[in-house]
Structure 1
Amino acid sequence: MAIPHYTGKMTDWIMNEDEPEAFNHAITVMTLMTIMSAVCEFVCDLIYNITMSRIHTSIQGLVFQSVLNQDIAFFDKASTGDIVSRITTDTNTMSESLSEKLSLLMWYFMRVIFLFGSMLLLSTRLSIFTALGLPIIWIIPEFSGQFYQKLSVQVQESLAKANDVATETFSSMKTVRSFANEDGETERYRKCLEDTYALNKVEAAGYAASTWTNSMSSLALKVSILYYGGRLVTGSDVSSGDLVSFVLYELQFTSAVEVLMSYWPHVKKAVGASEKIFEYVDRKPDIPPDGSLTPQSLKGHVQFKNITFAYPKRPDTDVLKNISLELKPGQITALVGPSGSGKSTIVSLLERFYQPQNGEILLDQKPLLEYKDQYLHEKISVVSQEPVLFARSVRENIKYGKENASDEEMRAAAKLANADDFIDNLPKGYDTDAGEKGGQVSGGQKQRIAIARALIQKPQILVLDDATSSLDTESEHRVYSALQKNCTVLLISHRLSGVEDADHIIFLRDGEVAEEGNHEELLAKHGFYEEFVNQQNTSIHRNTEDVTNSESATNSLFLKNVHNC
């Protein structure tokens, strides 16, 4: 910024020719300042870009960690595509805008301050005249910046919807292919992209209009200053050299202001993109404070006392109604009942995913909330009907959450789950990739791997939520036989197998305990449980008859339908 000053000195020397040393002095100083400026700019850019890269990595990791720490109800409401879009697209948009535009914004802001100071030293009147014209080129970009920020939020929301469609489609590809609905999903995605494109067009038009108005207002200001400066030189109020220096400073000044105004909408866009990001970062999960209990030994005695619960999305519908039940150490307790009776909800409460509206859950006579969360999930292992395997090796899936386990512990858990034999027969054994969501193994194999993953934790409480539904009778029997009696087992099943041998059976109906006892006691009551057993036996009998006696009727009906087609 000293170069215009010395350019004006050279102009005075050329016109007066009475100070020959001034020319050499000005050239020397300008050369040194140019070299120093280049070196400083290189060092500054290097430090800044490294810093912004670290900030981007830090923010992306912070958002990911913040999302992981949210309560389960948050994931019930937020779509996967929206979350992924916030972590990837929005953080990239924010970081790129900040790393490219904020750097220049800060740099030109300092230039504006020092340039205007230099202009004041040369001519106060010209500086005041310039300052009077600045509000014109400030007001317009402010309005366009607000408009740009709102559009940016809408564009990001539209992209999140498109990502949601893509994520949902790819994660359910087998269902899409089964119903031959590729064109339908393509059309859904295309409509989302059309909405985004329409917003992009409005955004582009707004940006073009903002740039045009900025340029025209700046040009008008330059012409006015040249005219007024020429009048001052004619009146001998400023020298020709000072006018040249002032014009050079003014050109840099207005150019810097133009850059500030043009980059300001981009920074506003980054702010708009960051709103959703920091909604996740600033969101406080709706979970109670982590407890502190981590006892050396745990019996696994669980008591549900007068529990009433409704899901956050349906607060007016009680899933559990003043329910009380007990899981005793070393026993297999079976939960049976029709769909929607609250069986899986009890598991979610036991895992502390949700908090009951009324009542208390005790573990070894102490409130569940007083236990440390990590300790609790180490002592409670759950295997669901549709267990999720990760796109990693079978070895990594079994050791998930316990990476420091030895291969001997892994094989022991696999043998208990009746999974060791089939894993050894896989192409790469335990190093075979399970595929996305376990797509490379069958349903029964997936369940056995998930059971091994639970058993390697050596839990004190083992929950099998219809976890053997895809196993044959022999494999199911071997799994139940392997369950150690030194832990509490909660068995949830829609099938009679396994339930009969349970130490205690609880029949749920409409969120309440309808009956409880062992198999013989419940049959003697001639109530809901007996009806459940009769339905199971009738279903098995019907399936057998369907296979042996209804082939001719089925074939006849099939041929008739084919003829009609």
Structure 2
Amino acid sequence: MAPVTATTMRQVVAFTLAVSVDLLLFYASGFTVFHSVFGHFTRLWLCAALRWLALIGVCLLTLGVPKALLIRFITAHSLLPAVFETGTNAFYREESQCGQLGDVRCWLLFSGASLAAALFWEITIPDTDEEAEGKEQKQKSRVLFMRVVRLFRPDYPLLFGGLVFLSLAVICEMFIPFYTGRVIDILGSNYQENDFLSALLFMGLYSLGGSVSAGCRGGLLICAISSYTCRIKVKLFGALTQQEIGFFETIKTGEITSRLSKDTNLMGRTVCLNANVLLRTFLKTLGMISLMLNLSWKLTFLVLMETPITGLLQNMYDTHYQRLTLAMQDSMALANESANEVVSGIRVVRSFNTEKHEICRYGDRLMVTHTIKTRRDTVRAVYLLARRLTGLAMQVFVLYYGRLFIQKGQMTTGNLVSFILYHSDLGDNIRTLTFIFGDMLNSVGAAGKVFEYLDRKALVSTDGKLQPDQLRGHISFSSLNFTYPANPNKTVLQDFSLELKPGQMMALVGPSGEGKSTCVSLLERFYEPQEGEILLDEEPLKSYDHQFLHKKISVVNQEPVLFSGTIRQNIEYGLKGCSLDEIKDAAMKANAHNFIMQLEKGYDTEVGEGGGQLAKSERQRIAIARALVRRPQVLILDEITSSLDTENENKIQQSLSSIPNQTLLVIAHRLKTIENADQIVVVSGGKVKERGTHRELMDMKGSYYKLREELFTEGNSPQ
């Protein structure tokens, strides 16, 4: 057997001394001398103060400074008798059985109630570090909820109208049980036809008023929710499109679409509807409690004892339910991502015969979601069982004591029926209040994800203001060091410096994955270099206005992306007031006009999703036309000739060479595309290895010469 420590001994002594002192003062409050010297209320509160001071003193002397939980218990234990007696006298002009003379039963009753209150406080509002973190999370949820409410500002008139009809519906619903009990009393005693018809009339009017008001309330709230959801979707979509490219490389597409489609709906519907239910239930609860107090204040206090038990159950349920709900949302986002990957890459899946593998992968992710959902539903089922058992026990108590009160003549049968009807609704309302408040905090978990995206600031700033009237197109890469956000451990560019003069053509060559396309991405400001900077006409690239920069610098990639719509809409994509003549001129330079005119609808031909109705070379030429219609000062061609035949390539080269003063940056694998460039740069290992004209580099017989032999050979012999 473990030895008794000094701390345990102090605690035992403190408990014994505290109980003795408290019982002495509690019994002393009932002595005749106290009644003769002090008034009733003065005696109550003076005794409460003396008990509090005595118990705090015992704790200080034996245990040192008491903890917050102990202070709360001592305060509730000392003040509860005074509060109870004062409230009883104020509301009912009578004293309870503990009012005249305190005994050990009253002392135990008050002690138990104080202990329950202290424990309820500790569970719902904890003080330990671990539980304080949960408290901080709840506070964060409240802040998020208020942000959601503020976003409803344009819909406040609709919400106010809903609140008015909500109040009318509550008032009407409250009086229906009251008149039900009155009808029973009229039928059970001396029947009066006028009273009976009057009660039935009022019941009908209140029922009709409640139904109409509830319908109007629901209609207004649905309109508010629809407006809010549409607005928040647009707001979130706008925030997402402002993010840097690295953001979309680190965040899965399925997660983004889940936030945009599901979480925004959850924000609007759940939060608003829960707020509606919360207000309606709160108003109805207050009205029912006041009516129940008029019917029987004793039974009312009895049923209110159910509240702390319900609160404890609800708090434990909310903690587990919220955690599992967030886990399920993340799991569903992963499952959606898996499905999106397969749908978007169905050709690859089919070519590698991996349908079964993808089905299994999708099934596994769905099974994870199913497991989490099962656990969540199990928690809910246990909670509902405990909640219903608690309600059933309280109904038994109400019926038992109600029969006693009827026998004593303290209430009528009709009053008991009305009280039971109110109690049935009251129990549901109290449980709804505790559930809805927690559910609102749960629902803002989805809002937290949405606000996380709304509040996120793009790592690549677009706040530049520079818009010069003339742009020469002089580009300088100065001592760049760069790593991709998705792979920060791999350096792509190292001390990379390069100069592209106005009106010249520069070609970047080198093995794949050595940094050529990265230069294009940095020039387009998809990313920011970790060190160094890029200058355009001696000004930092980030100083230029975002829209101006991307009009003056156009890029055509190896894999062009077209959007659903017509050819004309794809060529003029992002431009306003672009005429058909300008579109045709750009299409002619891209050698696309002829094949477009051969189509049945010409420039109004639909390209299909992703341009799927067109051949790859046709999509490539439309992408070139889309770049040229902007009349850019700097044009970047990133290995675009891989999908073009020699004839189209020659025609496009001739068109591009005829554009005066245009700076051209080319990344290509075909010799004819680059041999006439003003400068050829060999990029390897993220550094500039060689630079010069085609002839100069061939004479050096270095890296370019070897690459030409390996990569740039066309046909059977080098050209």
Does TM, normalized by the shorter one, top 0.5?
yes
1-structure distance, mates of 2:286, 2:516: 68
Deviations along 1:451-499, one digit per CA (max 9) or x if unpaired, are 0111111111111111222112221121121111222111111222221
Match of 2:590 in 1: 417
- The answer to whether structure 1 residue 431 and structure 2 residue 604 are counterparts is yes
User: In structure 2, do the counterparts of structure 1 residues 542 and 177 end up closer, same or farther at CA, with 3 Å as the change threshold?
Assistant: farther
The CA distance in 2 between the partners of 1:60 and 1:199, in whole Å, is: 27
Which residue, 477, 482, 490 being the options, matches 1:309?
Answer: 482
Are 1:149 and 1:271, in contact at CA under 8 Å, matched by a contact in 2? no
Separation in 2 of the partners of 1:49 and 1:538? Answer: 67
Report if the CA contact (8 A) 1:152-1:273 is conserved: no
Aligned to 2:394: 221
Aligned 8 A contact 1:335 1:492 in 2: yes
CA drift of 1:248 comes to: 2.6
- Compute the RMSD of aligned alpha carbons: 2.6
User: Which residue is equivalent to 2:709?
Assistant: 534
The 8 Å contact of residues 671 and 714 in structure 2, kept in 1 or not, is answered as no
Any idea what SS the aligned residue of 1:307 has? strand
Tell me the distance in 1 between the aligned counterparts of 2:332 and 2:471. Answer: 49
Q: Which runs of 5+ in 1 are unaligned?
A: 545-565
Alignment partner of 1:319: what SS? strand
CA distance in 2, matches of 1:345, 1:232: 86
Aligned-partner Cα distance in 2 for 1:327–1:205: 66
Would you say how many aligned residue pairs link Structure 1 and Structure 2? 544
Indicate the SS of the match to 1:5. helix
1:419 deviates by 1.0
- 1:529–1:187 Cα change, 3 Å: same
The partner residue of 2:650 within 477, 481, 487 is: 477
- The residue aligned with 1:104 is 277
- Most deviating of 2-11 and 257-266: 257-266
With 425-434 and 130-139 compared, the bigger mean Cα shift is at 425-434
The amino acid of 2:682's aligned partner reads F
Q: Deviations over 1:248-284 (max 9, x none)?
A: 3222211323444565675455334444333322323
User: Is the 2:462–2:546 Cα contact (8 Å) retained in structure 1?
Assistant: no
* Equivalent of residue 567 in structure 2, options 394, 407, 412: 394
Shift of 1:147: 1.8
Residues 486-545 of structure 1 deviation map (CA, whole Å, 9 limit, x = unaligned): 22111111222221111222222211122222222323333222222333465632699x
Q: Deviations over 1:292-315 (max 9, x none)?
A: 112233222221222221112232
CA distance in 2, matches of 1:270, 1:534: 63
Q: Is the 2:680–2:693 contact (alpha carbons within 8 Å) kept by the matching residues of 1?
A: yes
- d(CA) in 2 for partners of 1:536 and 1:131? 84
- Tell me by how many angstroms 1:383 deviates: 0.5
Spell out, residue by residue over 1:49-79, the C-alpha distance to the aligned partner (whole angstroms, 9 max, x if none): 1111112222222222222121211111112
* Conservation of the 8 A alpha-carbon contact between 2:271 and 2:444: no
Q: CA 1:16–1:534 in 2, change beyond 3 Å: closer, same or farther?
A: closer
Counterpart of 1:308 in 2: which secondary structure? strand
1:514 to 675, 683, 689: 689
Q: Residue 145 of structure 1 contacts residue 264 of structure 1 at CA under 8 Å; is this kept in 2?
A: no
Where 1:306 maps in the other structure, the secondary structure is: strand
Q: Is the 8 A contact 1:148 1:265 kept in 2?
A: no
Range 98-107 or range 355-364, more displaced? 98-107
SS of residue matched to 2:561:
coil
Which range moves more in the overlay, 453-462 or 392-401?
392-401
Q: Secondary structure at the match of 1:305?
A: strand
Q: Which stretch has the larger CA shift, 275-284 or 505-514?
A: 275-284
SS of aligned partner of 2:305: helix
Q: Give, in whole Å, the separation in 1 of the partners of 2:462 and 2:622.
A: 33
Cα distance in structure 1, aligned partners of 2:242 and 2:291: 53
Matching residue of 2:675: 500
**Counterpart in the other structure of 1:2:** 175
- What TM-score, normalized by structure 2, do the two folds share? 0.71
Identity of aligned residues (%): 40
Distance 1:140 1:543, change over 3 A: farther
The aligned runs of 1:183-194 (5 Å cut-off) are: 183-194=356-367
Q: Distance between the aligned counterparts of 1:510 and 1:421, measured in 2?
A: 42
Q: Which amino acid aligns with 1:497?
A: K
Corresponding residue for residue 629 of structure 2: 456
2:528 maps to 1:355: yes
Cα distance in 2 for residues equivalent to 1:9 and 1:142: 38
Cα distance between partner residues in 2 of 1:543 and 1:136: 87
Separation in 2, partners of 1:16, 1:477: 107
In structure 2, relative to structure 1, the CA distance for the partners of 1:168 and 1:41 (3 Å cut) is same
Matched, 1:491 2:666: yes
CA contact (8 A) 1:150 1:272 kept: no
Give matches, 1:167-246, under 5 Å: 167-246=340-419
For 1:419 and 1:42, how far apart are their aligned partners in 2?
A: 59
Unaligned runs of 5+ in 2: 1-173
Q: Distance in 2 between matches of 1:308 and 1:537?
A: 28
For 1:335 and 1:543, the matched residues in 2 are separated by 19
> Does the aligned pair in 2 maintain the 1:148–1:268 contact within 8 Å?
no
> Which structure 2 residues correspond to residues 42-441 of structure 1 after superposition, within 5 A?
42-98=215-271, 101-260=274-433, 267=440, 270-288=443-461, 290-402=463-575, 404-441=577-614
Q: CA deviation at 1:100?
A: 5.3
One-letter amino acid of the structure 1 residue matched with residue 347 of structure 2: K
| Residues 591, 621 of structure 2: 8 Å contact kept | yes
Higher RCO (C-alpha under 8 Å, 6+ residues apart) = 1
Say which SS state the counterpart of residue 491 (structure 1) adopts.
Answer: strand
Structure exhibiting the larger radius of gyration computed from Cα positions: 2
> Contact 1:146–1:268 at 8 Å: present in 2 too?
no
Match of 1:433, SS? coil
Distance in structure 2 (CA, Å) of the matches to 1:432 and 1:119: 73
Q: Secondary structure at the match of 1:359?
A: strand
The more displaced of 63-72 and 196-205 is 196-205
The answer to which of 502-511 and 99-108 deviates more is 99-108
1:37 is displaced (CA, Å) by 2.4
Shift of 1:316: 3.4
